[in-house]
Structure 1
Amino acid sequence: MSPLACVIIDDNEINRLTLERSVQRHDQLTLAASFPDAVEALAYFNAGNPADVVLLDIEMPHISGLELVQLLPEPKPAVILVTTHASFAVDAFELRVLDYLVKPVGYARFCQAIARVTEKYRTAPAPVAPEPPAPSSSDMPSDISATGTDMFVKTNGKLLRINFEDVLYIEALSTYVLLVTDKQKHIVGGTLKSIEERLPFRHFVRVHRSYIVNLHRVEAMADNMLKLGQHEVPVSRPYQEEFTQRLRAL
């Protein structure tokens, strides 16, 4: 069997380099890519780049490892989660990950996990050609429909209905934006400016070059930081006046 293409995603540089060395030592693996965060990795996968196995940290900024597993395009690669906490195991296996390694990971335990991956590929049926990558922001329809407080947005190649009263804020992430609610995060292709131009809701206002907030969900403001649920969002100087005016107009 040809070596399996491996992708590593971990925001801790030391852990990432340790995994890279383990991959390079293993004769059944080849290192395809290594990323310090899930946002860069998601762009890699959505561009149609290959991966047979992913070594994935769980606790990362912006997008957690568990969230990334759900966002990976089909056909999904084999996923091995690598984390410092055993408490995520139940959630991990509900997502059908192949293995769950607790740091620090010894090389023998690493090889045991890879053996499960190679067995999976030996017994798998003939591979199906992958679907084309998800459309980029330039391919997204400009007339996204909205009804009441609902709006359809394109996320992970699908149109999803989202109640924007549940959205706390929108954050810019490279070529994506993150819609954050109390319970979920949705990744949408495009820039913050493109999303801002199409938002039909007046109570969403830009407060920072990287953030748009839902004024209906702002609970408090102190030292130019807004509190929205369990989250805090900064208000930068260029946006303070408009934010204050829009807040008073509610």
Structure 2
Amino acid sequence: MEKEKVSILIVEDDMIIAANLSIQLTSLGYEVTGILPRGEEAVKHVRENAPQILLMDINLKGAISGIETAKAIQKSNDIPIIYLTANSDDVTFEKAKETHPKAFITKPFNKLSLQRTIALVVESIKDDKEPGQNIQDIEVLEDRIFVRHNGRMEKLLLEDILYIEADRNYCTLITANVKYMLTCTLKVLEEKLPKHKFVRVHRSYIINISRLDILADGHLEIGRKVIPIGKSYKGMLLSRLRTV
């Protein structure tokens, strides 16, 4: 079985440097989800694609800096950050530390330093987020769930959850406004959620039954999201709907 590639978003306003980074990362076996020159674009991209690592220029020339971009992203997504910087002054370094980056890469960089830094960060992600081992990051009560986000447990009402999608070895919990990446498998989360509210409809999806908008033969819709219905899960879904 082919090993899943680690996905990386490059946020760099020098397109020559960005293109060089993309070529080198791809040659090293990583998946580049995008090359973006502006922080505002990065915030939107992360919400829609949830890369596993951010490679972020610390001094973006757009409306918001790399540090401000990282802070905006961290409001809804907990993604490891590696800063690219040609500026090593103490003030910038202290501001960057507030976002708890995994590493800094100084420009100009070479392929070996890039390779080693990314490899170390990937290993740290594996150590921090071993699938199914951090279930203490999730606490489900009768009408709410607490999830660990940005180092603290945040409350989320179960009724606000639209659906949950498997994301490689993790889960992405979707609400109308925010996405949370959880460090457990879909199966583990399924066992903790109340079965009268949530049902698995596909090997990659659990839905909140009360948020179902459209039910068709082979798919359903919640909001504008089209979710496939797996053949082996259809009977359970119909059975649950009859009891709602």
State the TM-score, normalized to the length of structure 1.
0.57
- Decide whether aligned partners of structure 1 residues 212 and 96 sit closer, same or farther in structure 2, where only a CA change above 3 A counts: same
Residue equivalent to 1:208: 202
Pick from 210, 223, 235: which aligns with 1:229? 223
Q: Is structure 2 residue 119 aligned with structure 1 residue 151?
A: no
* 2:69 paired residue among 78, 91, 97: 97
Given that 1:207 and 1:243 are in contact with CA atoms closer than 8 Å, whether structure 2 keeps it comes out as yes
Q: Distance in 1 between matches of 2:65 and 2:137?
A: 39
Give structure 2 stretches of 5+ with no counterpart. Answer: 1-6, 71-83, 103-123
Aligned residues between the structures: 188
2:68 is matched by which residue type in structure 1? R
Q: How is 1:121-160 mapped onto 2 (pairs within 5 angstroms)?
A: 121-123=88-90, 124-125=92-93, 134-141=128-135, 144-160=138-154
CA deviation profile, 1:10-67 (whole Å, cap 9, x unmatched) = 6xxxxx9983426789xxxxx98853338xxxxxxxxxxxxxxx9987465x8447x7
What is the deviation of 1:227? 1.2
Tell me: CA distance 1:154–1:201, structure 2 relative to 1, closer, same or farther (3 Å): farther
User: In the alignment, residue 158 of structure 2 is paired with which amino acid?
Assistant: F
Q: What is the RMSD of the two structures over their aligned residues, measured on CA atoms?
A: 4.5
Compared CA separation, residues 35 and 249, structure 1 to 2 (3 A): same
Give SS of 2:159's match.
coil
- Over the matched positions of the two proteins, sequence identity in percent amounts to 25
Contact residue 178 and residue 185 of structure 1 kept, 8 A: yes
For structure 1, the 5+ residue unaligned runs are: 1-6, 11-15, 26-30, 39-53, 83-88, 99-113
Bigger drift between 194-203 and 208-217 goes to: 194-203
Pairing 1:25-64 to 2, within 5 Å after superposition = 34-37=30-33, 58=42, 60=45, 63-64=47-48
Separation in 2, partners of 1:226, 1:136: 31
Deviation at 1:209, TM superposition (A): 0.4
CA distance in 2, matches of 1:181, 1:227: 14
Deviation at 1:225, TM superposition (A): 1.7
| Inter-partner Cα distance in structure 1 for 2:227 and 2:23 | 41
1:35 and 1:240 map into 2 onto residues whose CA distance is 34
Number of the residue aligned with 1:175: 169
Instruction: Please give the alpha-carbon distance, in whole angstroms, between the structure 2 residues aligned to 1:94 and 1:18.
Output: 15
Which residue number corresponds to residue 19 of structure 1?
Answer: 18
